[in-house]
Structure 1
Amino acid sequence: MKLDERHLLQLAAVVRAGSVTEGAASIGMSQPAVSRTLAMLEKRLGEPLFLKGRRPLQPTPLGRALAEHGQTMLLASRKASEVVDSFRYGRTGTVRIGGTPFFMDALISGIIAEFQNAYPDVRVEQSYGYLPELQAGIHADRLDLAICPMAILDEGSGLVFTEILPGRNVVACRSTHPLLLRRKLSTSELLDFPWIAPPPGSPLLADLHSLLLSLGATEINVRYSGGSLTSAMIYLKGTDALTVLPHGVVFAFRKENAITALPVNVPHPQRALGLLRLANAPRAPAVDAFAGHVTEAFKSLRHLIKRHEEAVIWGA
């Protein structure tokens, strides 16, 4: 005998409440409609579902057994509703994010942690890459979102870019670097020291070459290259080497008081850090929630970074 699952759900609600009226209300139905369902079910089964004359209602053994199955379905239905609501409001899901290594490690990793404190059931899958790889990953549906520096978005790319931080480079060094002792620092003195070169493919590598060319250098004394942000920072703290970094990265390490920026004006890239995603991406509430969280976080960071820049670099 095949039974209608909806009838079992109604039976379970009544058994749990001990009353047809309260059981009907708990599942958003009227008392007469549920009463008709129970009467029809008893007629089809040829067996009573409740003991006569008992208040609150008490199920018969058959009524209790069927109500248990209905309760399982009722819980599953409510769980499914919770899943839908959580997805709809961005509380569950997966965010696949890629980004340039130095920014991801220095700034974005902490923002991801803050986001997951507020959205603990959202899974974040993070990877590294530079602009060409990130664009390919978005188009191939391997990434939902990229956080990277870029200049002009090609027309017809099918992507949309939202700026979160303007481009600003500095010459970074350890906090005890001898150049910091100079009362008036000449940019030509930068060529007296070795340099750390960013990894191949990094836009910072092109920025380094542009800077050194602007200083009139015909040859670059690169002593270390290709390392991660962590290895570059450790090397920088242990030597008198210099390197080009986004000011936001130097700002992220300000509390360690181990690295800083030299008070020299250097060429800044025609780029901005921002969020890159498909222009007509399918709705993904968790991705929207994450993108909104990153945008809000950088609204505060922009102000703090600007103050740090004025006080530490150009205020010198």
Structure 2
Amino acid sequence: MKLDERHLIQLAAVVQAGSVTEGAALLGLSQPAVSRTLAMLERRLGEPLFLKGHRPLQPTPLGRALAEHGQTMRAASRKASETLVNFRRGEAGVVRIGGTPFFMDALISGMAADFQTLCPDVRIDQSYGYLADLRAALESDRIDLAVCPIDLLDEGSGLTFQELLPGRNVIACAATHPLLAKPDPKALDLLDFPWIAPPPDSPLHADLHAILLSLGVSGIKIRYSGGSLASVLTYMTRTDALTILPHGAVFAFHRDRGISALPFRIPHPDRALGLLRLTGAPNAPAVDTFSRHIRKEFETLRHQIKRHEQALVPGS
């Protein structure tokens, strides 16, 4: 025998409240309507649902068992309604975000953690890639957002770009590096130490050569190459090696990971870190909410990094 789920939900409300009137009020229904439902359900079952002569109402064993099923259905219905409301508010759902490894590890992962303290029902799926891979992932609907540095976005690309941070690089080192104790380090001093080369497909790889050229330095000793941000930081803090990192990454880890930056004025890349989205992408409230959170966090971070840069290299 198939029972109507709505009837079981009404039965559960009456059992919970102890009266038809109060049970109907819990569901926003009229008392006569609920009374008719219970009477019809008893006729169909051929069994009583409540013990006669008891106030408040006392369910029979069958009535209690069916009410438990109805309560489960009622809770599921309420949860589904809450999920819908939270989804429309952008407080539930899935956000698929990809980005360049150093920025994702240094900045975005922490921002995602902070976001989920506010919106714990939003799941965040993170992946890595550089511009070409991220663009392909956006166009094939494998990610919703991309965080990457861009110098120029072609007109008619089908993508929208919102700047988060201007391009800023620094020569990074361990906080205990000998050059930090030197009153006026010179460019030639950079030749006395080994270097960590960024991954070959990273924009930082080209930046390294541009920076060295601007300082009149060549022939550096590459000791380590191609690692993740975590591996680069670990290696750097245990050696006197130098490398090129985005200032945002150094700022994010300069306290707890024991890294710093040398006070050299270097050319900054002609690009900016930003959020990429597919133009005309379907409405996704959780993605919009997370995007706003990221932009707000970076607005604060931008000013903090600028102050840190001015303290590091006066006049910058």
TM-score > 0.5, shorter chain as reference: yes
Q: Answer whether contact 1:173 1:259 (CA < 8 A) is retained.
A: yes
Alignment match, 2:306:
306
Matches within 5 A, 1:122-201: 122-187=122-187, 190=190, 193-201=193-201
* Structure 2 residue matching 1:276: 3-state secondary structure: strand
Per the TM alignment, residue 32 of structure 1 is displaced from its structure 2 partner at its CA by 2.3
* Corresponding residue of 1:23: 23
The answer for the alignment partner of 1:288 in structure 2 is 288
Looking at structure 2, the residues matched to 307 and 268 of structure 1 have their Cα atoms a distance apart, in angstroms, of 16
Aligned equivalents of 1:61, 1:186: Cα separation in 2:
88
Of 110-119 and 8-17, the range deviating more from structure 2: 110-119
Stretch deviating more after TM superposition (64-73 or 196-205): 64-73
**What's the counterpart of residue 94 of structure 1?**
94
Matches of 2:147 and 2:246, distance apart in 1: 14
Q: Match of 2:313, SS? A: helix
* Matched letter for residue 22 of structure 2: E
C-alpha contact (below 8 Å) 1:175/1:258 kept by paired residues: yes
Which runs of 5 or more residues in structure 1 are unaligned?
Answer: none
Note the C-alpha offset of 1:169.
1.3
Residue matched to 1:272: 272
Deviation at 1:264, TM superposition (A): 2.2
Q: Could you tell me how far 1:309 is from its partner in structure 2?
A: 0.8
CA distance in 1, matches of 2:51, 2:268: 83
Residue equivalent to 1:8: 8
Contact kept, 8 Å, 1:196 with 1:232, in 2: the verdict is yes
- Aligned equivalents of 2:62, 2:179: Cα separation in 1: 88
TM superposition shift of 1:137: 1.5
- Aligned residue for 2:303, secondary structure, equals helix
Distance 2:191 2:248 in 1: 24
What is the aligned-residue RMSD (CA, Å)? 2.7
TM-fit CA distance, 1:23: 0.5
Match of 1:36 in 2: 36
1:186 CA displacement:
4.5
Q: Aligned partners of 1:252, 1:156: CA distance in 2, in Å?
A: 35
Instruction: Tell me, yes or no, if the aligned pair for 1:18 and 1:56 is still in contact at 8 Å.
Output: yes
Sequence identity (%) = 69
Indicate the residue corresponding to 2:225 in structure 1. Answer: 225
TM-score (norm. length: structure 2):
0.87
Amino acid aligned to 1:104? M
The alpha carbon displacement at 1:86 in A equals: 3.6
Query: Are the structure 2 counterparts of residues 41 and 253 from structure 1 closer, same or farther at C-alpha, using a change threshold of 3 Å?
Result: closer
Tell me: CA distance 1:68–1:233, structure 2 relative to 1, closer, same or farther (3 Å): closer
Contact 1:261–1:313 (Cα < 8 Å) also in 2:
no
Structure 2 CA distance for aligned equivalents of residues 102 and 48 of structure 1: 68
CA contact (8 A) 1:264 1:314 kept: no
1:197-240 deviation line (CA, Å, top 9, x unaligned)? 21011001111122223334565543332122233233433444
Query: In 1, distance between residues paired with 2:217 and 2:66?
Result: 85
Q: Distance in 2 between matches of 1:244 and 1:159?
A: 29
Cα distance in 2 between the residues matched to 1:182 and 1:65: 80
Aligned positions, number: 316
In 2, the alpha carbon distance for the partners of 1:58 and 1:209 equals: 83
Instruction: Indicate yes or no: 2:49 matched with 1:49.
Output: yes
Q: Deviations over 1:42-94 (max 9, x none)?
A: 44455543334322122344433443333332232223223323433344433
Give ranges in structure 2 of 5+ residues lacking alignment: none
Cross-structure match for 2:77: 77
